[in-house]
A and B are shown apart, each in its own frame.
Chain A
Amino acid sequence: MRRQMFGRTKTAVATGALLALGLAACSSGGSDGGDDGGEGGTLDVWIMQGTNPSGEKFFDEVGKAFKEETGATLNVEFVEWGDAHDRFVTSIAGGTTPDVAETGTTWTPEFADAGALAPLDDYVSEAGLDGDLVEGLAEAGTYDGALYGMPWYAGVRSFVYNTEMFDKAGIEPPTTWAEIESAAKALKKEFPDKIAVAVPGDAEFTVYPWVWGAGGEVATLDGDTWTSQLDSPESQAGLEFWTGLAADGYSSAGATTWRETDVLDSFAQGDVGMAVMGSWTPGAIVEANADMEGKFAAVPIPGQDGGIAPSVLGGSHLSMFNTADDKDLAFEFIEMMTTGEFASKWGEQSGYFPGQKSLLEEATSSTDPLVAPFAQQFVEGGASVPVSPNFGAVQAKLTTSTMMQSILSGDQDVATASKAAAEEMTSLLNGGS
């Protein structure tokens, strides 16, 4: 409600300002979208979108159910992951934040630190949910001892491959790094114009599995001091292997500047043999190109000599902003999204794993061939990026992408690039710049 009134005040001020300048004729621009929803008011929500299947239909349903239950209108806006950080920052600065938003787990502490988020502990315990939150996600949403991000879902990346291409090349899904290399070789031979394995340069989460798989670490904490281990011999071996696939011509020159959305697009076009992709991408692949249905499969990311290479457990919170006037209404929405029917439906439809322990168990025991490998990765090969509020700064600085791009473009070798990246990451994690 206040948002609406705020909007009107703004228009009035605007008109005043323009009148003062003698420009009254031009005040027509202040159209304020989103009519208010009658007695129940409106709840403004931001939901992220990127490589996951479109959520529009799902949120239409949620909106209906929400209206029935609370009488309030749900106003969902979809925000691209790529733009989201800037959008949050400007809206926090401008006091125009939504009531509730999906926040990436690495951002929640940052926004809480800026004083933009409302603590959720009281609501959570009142609803009796505290025991059921998936620990890693809850921990990531905690800042200064208070919970600011309600665990919503988690996702994990595994190794997705094009079964049609594999069949034609007569190869089996790889289980070791040597097998990845020979599979790439076979694919390149059979399909010289396609990309055997996509090695994107601007997608940090597709890099860490190889670092961990070789026995390296992204960063370690000793007392209060973080030290990045990206330049350890083990990490360098992992990077050497992953970027070596590109150097041997199994990737493509264009992939040097690719983000994960580019990988998804190319894979959906049938141009890519293998790629590290998220548990939420199968739906999006079919959505982008219906012909791909049934033509791809997934395996956990192979370890160097077998086993599973760990992959980042990423995820999202639902956070309540301080600008929400009706905080009870806001939490009602959060509760509705993170528990029961809608939580499991979202998980099924999107390929994410729920943030509630009770639901998670159900999801990870799935036998669906496009869920099971991800579930296995989730349970047996999940890992976390450094748990520090400063990791957001590392991400924003694109430290890992910078390293990858300079290696892939041939500007620097693995040793030089990883050393520079490690220095920068260490400094940023310890609060430097």
Chain B
Amino acid sequence: MSAPTTSAARASTRPAAASRRPARRALRPGQVGKGLAVAGLLFFTLFPAYWMLVSALDAKAGASTSFVPADFTLDNFRFVLTDGGFATFLRNSLLVALATVLVSSFLALLASVAVARFRFRLRTQVLLLVLVVQMVPLEALVIPLFVQVRDLGLLGQLSGLIVVYVALALPFGIWMLRGFVAAVPVELEEAAYLDGASWGRMFRSILLPLVAPGLVATSIFSFITAWNEFVFALTLLGGEEQNYTVAIGLRSFFGQHSNDWGSIMAASTIITVPVMVFFILVQRRLAGGLTAGAVKG
């Protein structure tokens, strides 16, 4: 854990102590309002996921307005994993997402060090370029990118998808990491040089550990990009069903079973839960990472 994270954790204890004390004495209107806000927020954030799960576990999803499964079953999950082919889709997505995360984080880190630590000609232009390419509507790029991937000979393959996702995740990664790198005090680097370290050694033993929380944060974004993306997966994978990722796997499943909501929700649950668990596990690091970025901004 790096320094910014611990300071964030420390900061978080202070308002906690402050807000708990008056609550013991009497419930002030402010407290009630806050409680309602929390309840409403929890409902809004969790209801879709909850409803997804309930429908997935219900053999008669949609037959009545029951907020617990009316007819509990695991058949929907069984069906989706075997006949639905989601075991394969999950594996493909995981492979694509992990590769995208590793490659794009590495490239983004190198690039962000360049723009955050060096002043060179065209630096502003490079940054603007990075900002501008993020604005391109992706579905507009479907045709030219499709032709491009065809020219690279990567159609229908997961590696083709990985290359594209790396490109999609890069601009945002560079943009975010730039802040994290800039937040690392230059003095630390200078101290390393004074100790006789080379630039490469300084990079590995000073810069890398300190921007690690930032890397986690950007990794999450590239992970989402790869896990969620569907237009490119649809066009670039073509008919290679054994290479489908979860997003287009779900769409093709929806096409075949458009009114079998129990199974659709089971498939959605299977796709969503791994990401949710991952997110909840890394959230402390994510928040810590963003704090580090925000110190400098």
Contacts and interface: CB of A to CB of B under 8 A. Distances in A.
B232 to A, nearest CB: 11
A290 interface: no
Given A14-B152, A87-B238, A94-B155, A262 B258 contact: yes
B157 interface: yes
Interface stretch (A75-83, A238-246, A306-314): A75-83
Contact of A96 (B156, B159, B234, B241): B156
A266 B62 CA distance: 12
A11 B153 CA distance: 8
Interface string B214-238: 0000000000000000000011001
Interface stretch (A29-37, A330-338, A347-355): A29-37
B111 interface: no
A269 B260 CA distance: 10
- Scoring B156, B159, B243, B252 by chain A CB atoms within 10 A of each residue's CB, the highest score goes to B159
A90 B255 contact: no
Nearest to A33: B242
A8 to B, nearest CB: 10
A146 B160 CA distance: 37
A49 to B, nearest CB: 7
A19 B112 CA distance: 22
B240 interface: yes
A25 B166 CA distance: 14
B259 A10 contact: no
Interface stretch (B21-29, B45-53, B95-103, B191-199): B95-103
B239 interface: yes
A295 to B, nearest CB: 18
A250 interface: no
Contact of A82 (B147, B162, B255): B255
B153 A14 contact: yes
Which bracket fits the contact residues of A? 35 or more
A108 B240 CA distance: 22
A160 to B, nearest CB: 17
B157 A29 contact: yes
Contacts of A34: 242
Nearest to B252: A80
A62 B132 CA distance: 53
B130 interface: no
Contacts of A23: 103
Contacts of A9: 153
Contact of A87 (B153, B154, B161, B239): B239
Given A26-B103, A29-B95, A265-B259, A96 B238 contact: yes
Nearest to B152: A17
A261 interface: yes
B87 to A, nearest CB: 15
A90 B242 contact: no
Contacts of A86: 234-235
Given A93-B146, A93-B147, A29 B159 contact: yes
B158 interface: yes
A23 B162 CA distance: 11
A53 to B, nearest CB: 13
Nearest to A288: B260
Nearest to A98: B239
B259 A30 contact: no
Contacts of B19: none
A91 B157 CA distance: 13
A13 B154 contact: yes
A25 B147 CA distance: 25
Given A31-B243, A49-B256, A94 B159 contact: no
Contacts of B241: 77
Contacts of B235: 86, 90
Contacts of B256: 49, 80
A9 B154 CA distance: 10
Interface in B155-209: 155-163
A87 B248 CA distance: 13
Given A18-B163, A30-B159, A90-B238, A95 B150 contact: yes
Nearest to A254: B259
A207 to B, nearest CB: 20
Given A87-B239, A91-B239, A265-B258, A14 B155 contact: no
- Scoring A28, A29, A49, A269 by chain B CB atoms within 10 A of each residue's CB, the highest score goes to A29
Given A34-B242, A80-B252, A93-B147, 5 more contacts: A11-B157, A26-B159, A90-B146, A91-B239, A265-B260
Counting from the closest, the 5 A-B pairs by CB-CB distance are: A29-B158, A265-B259, A29-B159, A13-B153, A33-B242
Interface of A: 9-11, 13-14, 17-18, 23, 25-34, 46, 49, 77, 79-80, 82-83, 86-87, 90-91, 93-96, 98, 259, 261-262, 265-266, 269
29 contacts: A10-B154, A10-B155, A11-B159, A14-B157, A14-B160, A17-B163, A28-B159, A29-B99, A29-B157, A30-B154, A30-B159, A31-B243, A32-B157, A33-B242, A33-B243, A49-B256, A77-B239, A79-B239, A83-B234, A83-B251, A87-B238, A91-B238, A93-B147, A93-B150, A96-B155, A259-B258, A261-B255, A261-B259, A265-B259
